A and B are shown apart, each in its own frame.
Chain A
Amino acid sequence: MANVRYGMVIDLRKCIGCHTCSVACKSENSVPLGVWRSWVKQIEKGRYPNVRKSFLPLLCNNCENPICVTVCPVKASYRREDGIVLVDPHRCIGCRYCMAVCPYDARYVNPLVNIVEKCYWCDHLVDRGLKPACVQACPTQARIFGDINDHNAEIGRLLATSPVQVIKPEMGTNPKVFYIEADLDAMKTERKG
């Protein structure tokens, strides 16, 4: 099991935008009302009859070089050997600095306990040899989870043989959620001005 590095591939050729992943995550991790560890962004493009609805399932990228871990003043955020970035719920002081610096808006304050939480790729399931809840629940198997160093597993095969991309590679965080056929317009920062 040496050199395990977990990662996720989201195959958007298969995603139907059903939000099952979002709901499975909420249920598995008891995520309170109003906040999400995993959610699906939707965009609509074009004019009839040339239209397309695109989806971008979003979650923590569990980056290789996570800025949230760099700036956490109490080392409550830390990165495991296998790459999952965790938040120690007993140590976090709720200063929100990690939320402010995360390029993916992946973190939130749990309003019930006033500490910062995020997607941990269901570390409690992964440690028992299971897949994260969103991966188990996805009806079209668009989410593939596993050890990206394992070349014989499905994730290794997909990463090697498909053109994949990550969100905001320019941030230098080295994210580990890879998308196949993600739409450029869905990956943009939202225009709000």
Chain B
Amino acid sequence: MDVIVFHNVFPQETFGMLIAIYFYLTGLSAGSFVLSTLAYVFGMEKFKPIGKIGVILAALFLIMAPLALLIHVGQPFRSWHLFVYLNITSPITWGSFLLTLYPINAVIYGWYMFRGNARLTRLFGIIGIPLAIFVHGYTGFILALGKARALWNTALMPFLFLVSAMVSGIALMILISLIKDKFFSKERVINRELIFSLGNLLAGMILIDLFLVMSDVLVLLVSHAEAQEVAHLLLKGKFSIFFIGVENVLGKIIPALLLLIPRLRSLSTVTIAAMLVVIGIFIMRYVVVVAGEFLHLV
């Protein structure tokens, strides 16, 4: 049957690039924070050099992230409403408190770390880990509760976000450690052991991320009409270059191969892998947000 639909009313963009940037920044922040606790809470001594970088990055990104929100909302001067008129069923209400508590805790944690107070550093690190998980997990719930959008409305979304937060956090940490060792340290010697352990961690996280993305897409492909529509949008349609090419091949599969094949293993391949991952996860945030809201619903 021939059917022609006349497009006369076009829905406005809802979240768009700014929210994708916001998700990216909170992800980097949560990932960096968890990495910094590896040494200072869990006592893994080989990760000691990244503890201080991690906490600085975590605080910086989480101070930058809400700025994207302030630009995005229509009435930024009404932001105080979020703390006065609470709606417990809205993830954004949870987020307004997480986005306040988490950076404060990160600053206190960092303060004690730089003062060398191991006991209090550990205490605030332990408080910070659940906060870091929730501050990024809640952004997954923002999308997961968007029941009109097939790509978002999945219980996998918070997990997908947490794993991709770790992936991007580790990759950024590799890059920052390399730059710091090469240009800003006294000895100008790269800590190879640290970089390769981070590389192993990164490879593991990428594999988990690939598994989650695969299960998400496989279920979308056989689910209800809109889910199939959005799966085709990702695999064959307008977003296929971003989703398959950049996010998954360049951003996950190639870095995983570079990190896992022993013959390829060197400082330069780890660097390339980390750079690809940092770009790939940004594209992942973009695809999830923009492809998710791409379809007209009626």
Which chain A residues have a beta carbon within 8 Å of chain B's beta carbons? 35-36, 39-47, 56, 58, 67, 70-76, 91-97, 99-105, 108-109, 114-116, 167, 170-172, 185-193
Task: Tell yes or no: B116 within 8 A of A by CB.
Answer: no
CB-CB nearest 6 A-B residue pairs: A94-B74, A193-B237, A114-B74, A73-B92, A103-B148, A100-B14
Which of B82-90, B156-164, B179-187, B267-275 binds A? B82-90
Which chain B residues have a beta carbon within 8 Å of chain A's beta carbons? 1-9, 11-12, 14-15, 69, 72-76, 78-79, 81-82, 84-87, 89-93, 96, 142, 145-149, 224-226, 229, 232-233, 236-238, 293-298
| Cβ contact of B4, chosen from A44, A102, A172, cutoff 8 A | A44
CB contacts (< 8 Å) of B294 on chain A: these are: 192
Cα distance A116–B72 when bound, in Å?
13
| CB closest chain-B residue, reference A98 | B14
Interface of B is mostly: loop
Cα distance A94–B2 when bound, in Å?
40
In the complex, number of A-B residue pairs with CB atoms less than 8 Å apart = 169
CB contacts (< 8 Å) of A172 on chain B: these are: 147
CB contacts (< 8 Å) of A99 on chain B: these are: 11-12, 14
Min CB gap B106→A, angstroms: 23
CB contacts (< 8 Å) of B237 on chain A: these are: 192-193
Q: Is the CB of A93 within 8 A of B147?
A: no
CB contacts (< 8 Å) of A39 on chain B: these are: 8-9
Cα distance A102–B293 when bound, in Å?
11
- With A44-B4, A95-B92, A171-B147 in contact, is A189–B296 under 8 Å at CB? yes
Q: Is the CB of B14 within 8 A of A93?
A: no
Cα distance A47–B229 when bound, in Å?
26
Cα distance A73–B96 when bound, in Å?
9
Cα distance A91–B89 when bound, in Å?
17
Min CB gap B143→A, angstroms: 9
